[in-house]
Amino acid sequence: MDVAPKYINREISWLDFNARVLQEANDNNVPLIERLRFLGIFSNNLDEFFQVRYATVKRIAQSSKTGKKVFAGRSATVLLKEITAKVIKLQSESLEILNGIYQEMEAENIFFIDHNEVQKEQEAFLKNYFIQNVNPALVTIILSNTQNQDLTDNKAFLVVTMEIEEEGGPPIYALIEIPKNTKRFIVLPKKSDGKQYIMMLDDLIRYHFHMIFSFFNYKKIQAHMVKITRDAELDLEEDVSISYVEKITMSVKDRMISDPVRLVYDNEIPEETLRFVMDKLNIDSTDGLIPGGKYHQRRDYMDFPSLDRPDLLYSSIPKLPIPGLSLEENILDAIAKKDYLLYAPYQDFSYVIKFLREAALDPTVKSIKITIYRLSKASHIVSALINAAKNGKKVLVQIELQARFDEKNNINFAEKLEAAGVRLIFGIPGLKVHSKICIIERIQQNKNKRYGFVSTGNFNESTAKIYTDYTLFTANQKILKEVNKVFNFLEVSYKLKKYKHLIVSPHYSASILSKLIDQEIENKKNGLPSGISLKLNNITNYPLVDKLYEASQAGVKIKMMVRGICCLVPGVKGLSENITVLSVVDKFLEHPRVLIFENGGEKKIYLSSADFMTRNIENRVEVACPVYDTEIQKQILDTFDLSWNDNTKARVVNQHPQNKMVTPKKGAPMQRSQWTIYDYYKNKLIQ
């Protein structure tokens, strides 16, 4: 009899999450172009997984600490092989799904053509497109038997093999980098019969090999795609003479040529050519060697063109206003009277921008403080802060330069803010600042009054269109006094603060969360109302998992909505039979962190920037904010229930079979939570 494991390995659980994304690409009820885009998301997720998690496991496997284990008794070496096998299986499934989507697109009069299928009337368009848009951007390297190459991270390359005219002469190898800033999908002019043709950039390059290699006397030419993924860990130098910004900048550059952790290749590539490429890249291990189809870099499908086919896309939804809070009137005065909750993308993220723009212009506002983790490429948040500084406000910005894959973007914004007179702080050595907080100070009737907002997500107007997140606007002076304490800690990190309202990492989250769970256990024992409801991105912290197991064993009912990694195993008799874990994957990415404790009937509800991960508990500055307004509490409880009752896009996590879809019970109506939540807020406008 198999004994259920106490924990699920986090890397394996992450791959199970990405399998949920792949389910969306395989769902016939999802519009066809959206399915292609989900394939792109799946591929992009996998890229980041190999850059971060796989690379970490590989470093452990290669370290001198022999015998070191990675979760549940697995050695790092065994785990690498398990990951590779699972990824190969997922990649194979994704390719099968992609081929199925292509067939369905043909039924919609949309056809992909390769370099062997170009029609006579298409030649002129493709030739002109290649000359004008592609050829100037190509980087082509002729390889020799003596030089090694450092292929840039997460780029795709065509490995070209040319057989020359001289009999018995060695082949000539070349690498062509697929340009990142050139559209991957070339949409050809639509034909009179309504047929729409699309060509991949890779095939456009293949079609013009005769132009690229015109000076080589080859008798045969072929090309196969490879893609390299490198370790994304930043290596910060200890040189005290180098500024923090310089260290991050140098490390990001080094990342581009760091150790390779994955090589994806066309499985049609000749073995001799593959060995040659591996030798050039100094790859001597089969771990991370992933065979695939003709095309890689499938994350580009995230930007697949709409083709003027709204019938093959999700319909856009108008952003809803927040009742009582106008984008045309002074919202600071409205917040002074009561708290407001923004739930993006259902409601308009512009309220956050409006708050900061008002603060930048309002003569009674004296200062603004904000933490920044990830920003849009063209950020209105930054514009508002620069505007405030130019108007003489004291602006303090804590910007996290180590926000993974956003380092360069954040460095650029830091330079612009500093040039405008904004005071910057870069956090605390050893800690990332991941909290989502803002506070302003206003002088009213000769008194200093604070206003602010606390969010579960980044202040990023681009991702706010597709990530679901809560933002609480408040003028509660007790809460904002403690938010100000967090900023004081960021400025003077050796002085620890005490908090009555906020839960703040890294000093208090572990103990306070344990106490909150203990209280539910005590209430259950005493016959008082008890229960825990959690909405998280990830849960990997074993002490908190164990504490939830303890609560389950005491009879506390626990509902968990976990989008991503879940190391907890629910439904195990004697361990976790009172815990249920669901995951919703749909049009929007579920991103809020919400903590709900029954607390004997007097519910405690928190909105948090932190997941239940060790890094969030111990290695980051995080803030969980209590919600005291009863109307907002009801909104959070109602929307949690709508998510929990989803029977269209919810999956059951860490049960057999993994990722089984929740389906309506006999006679029950279909419930699709992202749709019902939108309707919930829409109905509030007419109440």
For 503-684, CATH gives 3.30.870.10
The arrangement of strands across the sheet holding 172-177 comes to 139-143, 172-177, 155-164, 218-230, 260-266, 289-292
Could you write out the three-class secondary structure of 495-556?
A: CCCCCCCCEEECCCHHHHHHHHHHHHHHHHHCCCCCCEEEEECCECCHHHHHHHHHHHHCCC
Structure tokens at 11: 């890397």
Name 351's Cβ contacts closer than 8 Å, sequence gap at least 6: 322, 325, 327, 331, 340, 342, 471, 473
Name 106's Cβ contacts closer than 8 Å, sequence gap at least 6: none
Q: φ and ψ at 612, to 5 degrees?
A: -85, 60
Can you give the pLDDT at residue 374? 84
**Which fold, 109-302?**
polyphosphate kinase like (3.30.1840)
**Which fold, 8-102?**
Methane Monooxygenase Hydroxylase; Chain G, domain 1 (1.20.58)
Report the pLDDT averaged over residues 670-678.
97
The H or E element containing residue 597 is: strand 593-597
153 backbone φψ class: left, alpha, beta (φ>0; ψ -120 to 50): beta
Q: Is the pLDDT of residue 503 over 70?
A: yes
Fill in the amino acid letter for 373: Y
Q: Are 281 and 149 in contact (CB under 8 A)?
A: yes
pLDDT in tens, 161-186: 998 876 667 888 888 988 888 999 99
Centre a 10 Å sphere on the Cβ of residue 293 and count the other Cβ atoms it contains: 18
pLDDT in tens, 403-438: 565 677 777 888 888 899 999 988 777 888 899 999
What percent of the chain stands above pLDDT 90? Answer: 67
Can you give the pLDDT at residue 251? 42
CA gap 569, 334 in Å, rounded? 45
| pLDDT band, residue 541 (cuts 50/70/90) | very high
Q: Is the pLDDT of residue 464 over 80?
A: yes
pLDDT in tens, 76-111: 888 888 998 998 899 899 999 999 999 999 999 999
**Domain boundaries defined on the chain:** 8-102, 109-302, 331-491, 503-684
Q: Do 503-684 and 109-302 have the same topology in CATH?
A: no
Can you give the pLDDT at residue 63? 72
* 327-331, 417-421, 512-516: which is most confident: 512-516
Report the pLDDT averaged over residues 517-533.
98
Chain-wide mean pLDDT for the chain? 89
| pLDDT band, residue 400 (cuts 50/70/90) | confident
- The residue among 227 and 549 whose pLDDT is bigger is 549
CA gap 177, 297 in Å, rounded? 12
**SS3 label, residue 242:** coil
Report the pLDDT averaged over residues 264-272.
89
CA gap 559, 636 in Å, rounded? 14
Lowest mean pLDDT among 69-78, 149-158, 304-313, 552-561: 149-158
The H or E element containing residue 199 is: strand 196-200
Residue corresponding to tokens 């020359």: 164
Can you give the pLDDT at residue 294? 83
In angstroms, how far is CA 393 from the centroid of its own chain?
A: 34
Can you give the pLDDT at residue 245? 46
Q: Are 292 and 181 in contact (CB under 8 A)?
A: no
Report the pLDDT averaged over residues 349-362.
96
Structure tokens at 179: 């340009």
Can you give the pLDDT at residue 286? 59
Q: Assess whether the previous peptide bond of 657 is cis (omega < 30° from 0).
A: yes
Can you give the pLDDT at residue 59? 78
| pLDDT band, residue 253 (cuts 50/70/90) | very low
CA gap 204, 126 in Å, rounded? 7
CA gap 653, 17 in Å, rounded? 9
Fill in the amino acid letter for 52: V
Q: Is the pLDDT of residue 248 over 50?
A: no
Residues β-bridged to residue 597? 532, 604
Q: Is the pLDDT of residue 332 over 70?
A: yes
Can you give the pLDDT at residue 522? 98
Can you give the pLDDT at residue 84? 87
Structure tokens at 103: 């067939």
Report how far apart the first and last C-alpha atoms of the chain are (Å, whole number).
Answer: 56
Q: Are 454 and 623 in contact (CB under 8 A)?
A: yes
Q: What is the reported pTM?
A: 0.89
CA gap 554, 546 in Å, rounded? 12
Can you give the pLDDT at residue 390? 95
Q: Is the pLDDT of residue 477 over 50?
A: yes
* 147-151, 507-511, 578-582: which is most confident: 578-582
Q: φ and ψ at 326, to 5 degrees?
A: -100, 140
- The residue among 216 and 188 whose pLDDT is bigger is 188
| pLDDT band, residue 288 (cuts 50/70/90) | low
Find the angle CA(331)-CA(335)-CA(341) to the nearest 5 degrees. 95
Residues classed as catalytic: 434
Can you give the pLDDT at residue 401? 75
Report the pLDDT averaged over residues 27-42.
96
Residue corresponding to tokens 């930007």: 303
Spell out the CATH class of 331-491. Answer: alpha beta
Report the pLDDT averaged over residues 609-615.
96
Q: Are 531 and 556 in contact (CB under 8 A)?
A: yes
Lowest mean pLDDT among 247-251, 468-472, 512-516, 682-686: 247-251
